[in-house]
Amino acid sequence: MPKKLEPENSAMIVIMFLEKSLDLILELDTDKIQNHNRTLSEKANLGLRDLGLELISPLDNVSRSGNACFLSEDARSVSATLAERKLLV
């Protein structure tokens, strides 16, 4: 990183913050982060299944990502309800 910021390079601040963020993530251990995300995703998937929603996310740990995907007849309503609860869908 440069010692001082130059006038026409305003993105340098963003790059410096990104670099620090990546350093912190690597310090935490990416395997631990991945396993934590998969555990949270499993809980979400099981909760959605218990609500009677059709899951399209894999349930097995190796194939699962940090996302919980499901089908709904009224996606707009589900999205609005979850947004009210500060859940991003």
SS (H, E, C) 25-71: HHHHCHHHHHHHHHHHHHHHHHHHHHCCCEECCCCCCCCCCCCCCEE
Q: What confidence tens digit (pLDDT) does each residue in 4-27 have?
A: 666 666 677 888 889 899 998 889
* Domain map (residue ranges) of the chain: 11-84
Q: What are phi and psi of 13, to 5 degrees?
A: -60, -45
Q: Give me the residues paired with residue 55 across strands.
A: 70
Three-class secondary structure of residue 7 per DSSP: coil
Q: Give the residue among 60, 68, 65 at the shortest CA–CA distance from 33.
A: 65
Please name the amino acid found at residue 34: Q
Strands 54-55 and 70-71: antiparallel
pTM: 0.60
Q: What confidence tens digit (pLDDT) does each residue in 63-80 have?
A: 887 788 889 888 899 889
